[in-house]
Structure 1
Amino acid sequence: MNAAATASRPDGAPPWASRRGPRRHQADGAAVYRGPTGRLAAAVADGVGDSEGAGFAARLVADHAVRVAALEGRPDVALLAAHDLLTSTHDLVPGDAAAVVALGPGAGDPRWRLAWVGDCRALAWDGRSLRTLTADHTVAAELRARGLHVHPRLEHVLTVSVRTVRPQEVGIAVVDEPGTVLLVSDGVHRSVAAPALAAALAGGGSAAERAERIVGLAAAAGTTDNATALVLTGPAGG
């Protein structure tokens, strides 16, 4: 398993798995962080392109976003903070990324909060069904919404990214008791069908073991991209 971005997790192994696949570089990042109040934030980021710069940007975005989300209680603010970080350090960090951030329940806020840009996804598994909580920011998604034919290459063309996002473009969702939350890069969701993802989540084991099963499915399906899965279970994602 190739290492993704790491933010400290005090209670054991990271709840994610990541594989480089056939790419030259690992350009996915993942991170979790539990803030001073105990609120947990998690993120998956997918660097744009196949380069060291893309991977560094993804890891930086994931690590920064989880800390801001846990401290501010706003995953959308976290993505805008990551945007500010990339744009203010352009000479040092020229890369870009898609990202999804999940914030678990906190005191006075029993719901899960999600924010995303690009084509990383969040899904919820309640033990019976799997549902997608996010909507891709891609040219393909825009054309499909208009009922138009979509060329497969357009699935990978982002309309919003961490570097380019404006505040009104951040995707936002609030979810009551989602059960298990799954965050994935497009190397997973474009290669593994929903029934297979659901079966992997239902198969038991730790969050890390289930995440490893999911990226293994992506590899077996012949994904041509990096594949990353992060699994959050329980009311606070522990």
Structure 2
Amino acid sequence: MELEVTLPEGPLRLAVAACTDLGRVRRVNEDSFLAEPPLFLVADGMGGHSFGDRASRAVVEAFSAAVGTDGLPSPELVVETIRAANEAVVALSDEETVSGTTLSGLALVAAHSSYHWMAFNVGDSRVYSWDGRALEQVTVDHSAVQEMLDLGQISALEAIDHPYRNVVTRAIGIDDSVEPDVWLLPVGGHQLFLVCSDGLTKELDDDQIASILADRFSLPEGQSVADRLVQAALAAGGSDNVTVIVVEAELADTAHSADEDTNDRGMPGHLEETRPRK
């Protein structure tokens, strides 16, 4: 899908590709996604919890209802919608069943008379940026393994097959309140973002993902880079549902470089309470 968003700085041209698959093991696809400007998000219903597919759909429905395609949302509206989605998923649970889902996403937002990409997450679904040379994970996993990595208790190599690798420490619908992590990235130049469920990152490491992104211009006609990433995850085992959204953006007549865009993690002071943990 190719389209254009009009900004005061000039036209922002977008190429968007999305793909989801059941995988080779699961019986139900508990992933849901939304890939319509200004929102690109993936919700991964939590395996082992009842109604994970309903939970992920509830998140997508909450965003679809709150954020329209006319005009750009504010960062505050995105955060409010995440919290509203949490309430919707909590309402699905009862004394016998618990619904839950992770969430990761990218939104084009208006803030302080300017425009930014807002990356956000709850759980271990991810947002990456790609500058043509290096793949950078923008979001920080809310997982037991990530916390052990941060504390230096395990190595990155040990984390790959750690028995707690599927344990998330934050999710939509598990508690009455939820605190997402958010990042604001300036819009400018040529940028590429990847939003995905952990069905991709369980099967492919960052180097493999980067290789596919770098090779995206040589794909067969009719195959998107999102399709290629999902197929690679299936070929590597497909042990989980896998969902991928790739957003490629080009803002004409701008002096910003891709390196500046993808590495700037600053946020306005009024959003400081949602600054991600270190």
Q: TM-score range by the shorter chain?
A: 0.7 to 0.9
TM-score under structure 1 length normalisation: 0.81
**Among residues 20, 23, 33, which one is paired with 2:22 in the alignment?**
20
Mean Cα displacement is larger for which, 227-236 or 51-60? 51-60
Find out whether 1:76 has 2:79 as its counterpart.
yes
Q: CA RMSD in A?
A: 3.0
2:222 & 2:117 partners in 1: Cα distance? Answer: 18
Alpha-carbon distance in structure 2 between the residues aligned to 1:87 and 1:207: 40
Partner residue in 2 for 1:140: 145
**Is the Cα contact below 8 Å between 1:99 and 1:117 reproduced in 2?**
yes
Report what 1:95 is aligned to. Answer: 99
Structure 2: gaps of 5 or more residues: 4-14, 252-278
* Number of corresponding residues: 221
Q: Distance in 2 between matches of 1:163 and 1:175?
A: 27
Cross-structure match for 2:164: 154
What SS class does the counterpart of residue 172 from structure 2 fall into? coil
Pairing partner for 2:185 from 172, 175, 181: 175
Pick from 122, 126, 131 the counterpart of residue 121 of structure 1.
126
Percent of pairs with identical residues: 24
Question: 1:15·1:208 contact (CA, 8 Å) conserved in 2?
Answer: no
**Are the structure 2 counterparts of residues 161 and 195 from structure 1 closer, same or farther at C-alpha, using a change threshold of 3 Å?**
same
Higher strand share: 2
- Pairwise CA distance, 1:143: 1.3
How far, CA to CA, are the matches of 1:183 and 1:66 in structure 2?
17
Matched-pair contact (CA < 8 Å) for 1:188–1:214: yes
Higher alpha-carbon deviation: 45-54 or 214-223: 45-54
Which residue in the other structure is 2:43 paired with? 45
State the alpha-carbon separation in 1 of the partners of residues 56 and 67 from structure 2: 16
Alignment of 1:191-210 (within 5 A): 191-202=203-214, 203-204=216-217, 209-210=224-225
Map Cα deviations across residues 44-66 of structure 1 (whole Å, 9 max, x no partner). 01101167711121122133235
Q: Following TM superposition, by how much is the alpha carbon of 1:228 offset from its aligned partner in structure 2, in angstroms?
A: 0.8
Range moving further from structure 2, 13-22 or 139-148: 13-22
In the alignment, the residues of structure 2 paired with residue 88 and residue 51 of structure 1 have an alpha-carbon distance, to the nearest angstrom, of 14
Deviations 1:183-227 (A, max 9, x none): 010010121122221222231269971101001111111131111
CA 1:207–1:167 in structure 2 vs 1: closer, same or farther (change >3 Å)? farther
**Residues 1:186 and 1:154: Cα distance change in structure 2 (over 3 Å):** same
TM-score by length of 2: 0.70
The DSSP-based 3-state class of the residue aligned with 1:104 is strand
Choose between structure 1 and 2 for higher RCO, CA contacts under 8 A separated by at least 6 residues.
Answer: 2
Decide whether aligned partners of structure 1 residues 106 and 67 sit closer, same or farther in structure 2, where only a CA change above 3 A counts. Answer: farther
Deviation at 1:175, TM superposition (A): 1.4
Letter in 2 for 1:171: D
Residue 116 of structure 1: CA displacement?
0.7
Matched, 1:215 2:227: no
Partner of 2:255: none
Structure 2 partner of 1:231: 246
Distance 2:90 2:65 in 1: 18
Could you report, residue by residue, the CA deviation over 1:27-56 in whole angstroms, capped at 9, with x for unpaired residues? 11111234xxxxx11110110116771112
* Greater Rg by CA: 2
Contact conserved, 1:139 with 1:157, CA < 8 A, in 2? yes
| Cα distance change, pair 67–207 in 1 and its aligned pair in 2 (3 A) | farther
